[in-house]
Structure 1
């Protein structure tokens, strides 16, 4: 393997990518608009949910409850009567309708247990699930605070004080932004490396390369470093401009250390992309193989679901996947500000998995050229 051959072949790959507008659009979209929009639209995040209140009591406590709903979680509450509630729910204009019955304050101060009816539009599944909990917490807090002013409440023997570290506001956008970048790193690296090899076959240039004084290793390493460089540059831009800039997610650790881990991740995933391309005869076949590989990598790596909630067999099996270690590394560095002394096991694992993927893919690539 000659360094000059690898360099020139890699530059050729970059020039070929620059002449492919659809791939360029995909790269730009994946690390900008896709990261921003998916982070803002996380299903569990409640944002400007429309709510209406039927205030049959018209008391200070009902007014206090109505004033507790405001952006960004809810829109300003619409005060309606009972006859309008069903119509607005049927038309989909409101997601929540809170019905405060008459004599609610009187029953509350008398020590009774009055009830408030909450109607939820269950067709808005994500908003309905999380929003009902928000409404319950807000109403309970306001009613308790109001009742404490008029009658003594026994002080609990112990008070639980919650301090959320690394994400004090429990904002799911902070988590989703970094996870979207991680998922796109794996997706784009596999696609670019695999598409580069398939494009060589479709255009007939792979035969031209084989009659030149270059080896299969030269060709494969050139594709790996060139495509990895593109994804790494896009990742750095996305972290600084989109995650930290547009979304306002604070980065506690070293971005340089994260990018070093991303480079090892790219070494593994681009090798995997070359291997999938040797199995596929065309881009449609490559796309089908990509779905079979990419979905488990993203869903079972610990980014979407905690690994502790998975069966033991799945947890052990996914230790062979680079995404599992990259998710651990990214969360430790970007969320908790961890240094090299903490993440070195993940770095070693990524290097080992990448070396194994590279050796296996190179052997397969050489056999496919015979």
Structure 2
């Protein structure tokens, strides 16, 4: 018995060492992916883009804005001319917080009045908004303006903080929408990868080679059902979103169209995985090898602004990051194509070459 067991162990070890894809995958999971996830998974809010609106243009107003920008929590997104411009920046995602200092701010401080400053927060990610609100209150409470005329202390500031798009600051809205995007990614990647590899294992692809069916037709037949199924799966997800009380403030047709663009990228990744693997086990493991980095770098787990600059740049290559911005924008902000066209262009730029490469590799592996 022990001889047979030793022979089986040697055989499995040799077979394992011959599987280069599995060796590279395991090495990646235990090294590079551990490093990426450790750096990316930070729940501290840092470098949150802040739009400043200085309607007073005095030393006191500039000092208050500077107190926000010298911290690691906020980063300058620019000076907006009016509060309306700042709200547009919140709408497009250029800024996550807007600080509006009203006209007469320094004068009211000198008189001993308590001036009010307006703070607008993007509440699509309630965890980030809650932390930013707490930091805002701390900064305002520490602000010490110069003494008022007559030698008396200047009045304190009254911050008027408003959280937009998710005023209750519930984490449910962000979580359910991010889970919908993750589900779309998993369906788009895993289903075509598993389907094609299963055909390889069963030998049916070899049988199809002797039929009049062309490689291009076979490629379409493998990818089109996944695209249709992914779009149809959106509707049960909409019921779940509605059940959680999350509003759809934007266009459903726009959401479906941009979902189709996103699924093209996901399906292309699935076909590439199928081209690089020979067994269903390899395909599933390699799928998760790609899914986890895309998930961590998309902003679903931790804010992208809190990541190192290198990972922020790398996250731009993840279609999930752009699709999450699209989903949050359409559902919570009611944004349309004029605001979401950069994300749409990014999905096209990512998905088109991926799909073309997938088609070429599929043709070579099945020809």
Which bracket does the TM-score occupy, shorter chain normalised?
0.5 to 0.7
Q: CA deviation at 1:210?
A: 1.6
Change (3 A) 1:196 1:330: same
In structure 2, the partner of 1:222 is 221
In structure 1, the partner of 2:144 is none
In structure 2, the partner of 1:368 is 365
Q: CA deviation at 1:155?
A: 11
**Residues in 2 aligned to 1:233 and 1:220: alpha-carbon distance in whole angstroms:** 21
**Residues in 2 aligned to 1:221 and 1:313: alpha-carbon distance in whole angstroms:** 36
**Residues in 2 aligned to 1:350 and 1:215: alpha-carbon distance in whole angstroms:** 28
Unpaired runs of at least 5, structure 1: 1-43, 45-129, 135-153
Contact 1:216 1:362 in 2 (8 A): no
**Residues in 2 aligned to 1:186 and 1:310: alpha-carbon distance in whole angstroms:** 22
DSSP-derived class of the 1:342 partner: helix
**Aligned Cα RMSD in Å?**
2.3
Q: 2:309 aligns with which of 308, 312, 323?
A: 312
**Residues in 1 aligned to 2:339 and 2:205: alpha-carbon distance in whole angstroms:** 43
In structure 2, the partner of 1:292 is 289
Q: CA deviation at 1:157?
A: 2.1
Q: CA deviation at 1:203?
A: 2.2
DSSP-derived class of the 1:162 partner: strand
Corresponding position: 1:195 with 2:194: yes
**Residues in 2 aligned to 1:316 and 1:164: alpha-carbon distance in whole angstroms:** 28
In structure 1, the partner of 2:208 is 209
**Residues in 2 aligned to 1:361 and 1:351: alpha-carbon distance in whole angstroms:** 15
User: Which of structures 1 and 2 has the bigger CA Rg?
Assistant: 1
Contact 2:194 2:284 in 1 (8 A): no
Tell me which protein shows more strand as a share of its residues: 2
In structure 2, the partner of 1:38 is none
DSSP-derived class of the 2:237 partner: helix
Q: CA deviation at 1:208?
A: 2.2
**Residues in 1 aligned to 2:161 and 2:318: alpha-carbon distance in whole angstroms:** 35
Q: CA deviation at 1:178?
A: 0.2
**Residues in 1 aligned to 2:322 and 2:275: alpha-carbon distance in whole angstroms:** 26
What are the Cα deviations for residues 294-314 of structure 1, in whole angstroms up to 9, with x where unaligned?
001111012222211111111
Change (3 A) 1:155 1:251: farther
Q: TM-score scaled by structure 2? A: 0.56
Matches within 5 A, 1:166-315: 166-239=165-238, 241-244=239-242, 246-315=243-312
Unpaired runs of at least 5, structure 2: 1-42, 44-129, 135-152
